[in-house]
Amino acid sequence: MNGPESEESQLRRAVCPGSFDPITNGHLDIIARASRLYDTVYVAVMINQSKQGLFSVEERISLIQEVTAEFGNVQVEAFHGLLVDFCKQRDIPAIVKGLRAVSDFDYELQMAQMNIGLSGVETLFVPTNPTYSFLSSSLVKEVAQWGGDISHLVPPAILAALNDRLGQR
Ligand code: PNS
């Protein structure tokens, strides 16, 4: 095949999906590593209407854009629906996920098998940097809420946003 369309389809794209309420250094490490392996990395903020977030989807997107700007090949979008549909609409063949521990594996494997069965989209697992293997957005929020130091667990912009939001309560 010739022409711009075929060149476009040969570009390597991947997606890092999640709730990102808020993004942590653990997420950022996976996105940074994916951005070195792929031409374009989409960060998909998956909307879950049954979960009330600390940050709105728009706020999460803007924070993720701020902390991933330096990578130069990361595109941040929100999506309401199945992750495989997000992938299909953008011609993304691969999902990149971090695995923190064996306890993550069961559910991640189920999702990966469901997703490949639904659409043929592959899931690639990246071992989380051990520095962040205990880290989750929920824990960060809980510790921050009680005044614990989380400055080594989130980027400065996220720390400021958390302090701002929790200070308003
Ligand atoms: O950060 P999270 O909440 O652990 O991320 C989970 C997420 C959003 C990646 C997962 O729940 C997901 O892919 N949701 C989108 C809806 C979907 O495709 N569900 C079927 C998964 S097999």
Q: Could you identify the atom of ligand 1 that is nearest to the CA of residue 114?
A: 22
Nearest-atom number in ligand 1 for the CA of 97 is 9
Tell me, what's the pLDDT at 7? 57
Q: Which residues of the chain have pLDDT under 50?
A: 1-2
Closest among 120, 71, 56 to 93, alpha carbons compared:
120
Domain boundaries, the chain: 10-133
What pLDDT, on a 0 to 100 scale, did the predictor assign at position 1? 46
Which residues are known to be catalytic? Answer: 27, 51, 100, 137
Report residues whose beta carbon is within 6 angstroms of any ligand 1 atom.
Answer: 17-19, 46, 82-83, 111, 114-115
What is the model's pLDDT at position 11? 79
pLDDT at 144 (0 to 100): 96
Three-state helix/strand/coil letters over the chain? CCCHHHHHHHCCEEEEEECCCCCCHHHHHHHHHHHHHCCEEEEEEECCCCCCCCCCHHHHHHHHHHHHHHHCCEEEEEECCCHHHHHHHHCCCEEEEEECCHHHHHHHHHHHHHHHHHHCCEEEEEECCHHHCCCCHHHHHHHHHCCCCCCCCCCHHHHHHHHHHHHCC
**How many whole angstroms separate alpha carbon 44 and alpha carbon 152?**
24
Tell if the pTM clears 0.85, that is, is over it.
yes
CATH of domain 10-133: 3.40.50.620
pLDDT of residue 92: 98
Beta bridge partners of 94: 14, 122
| pLDDT of amino acid 142 | 97
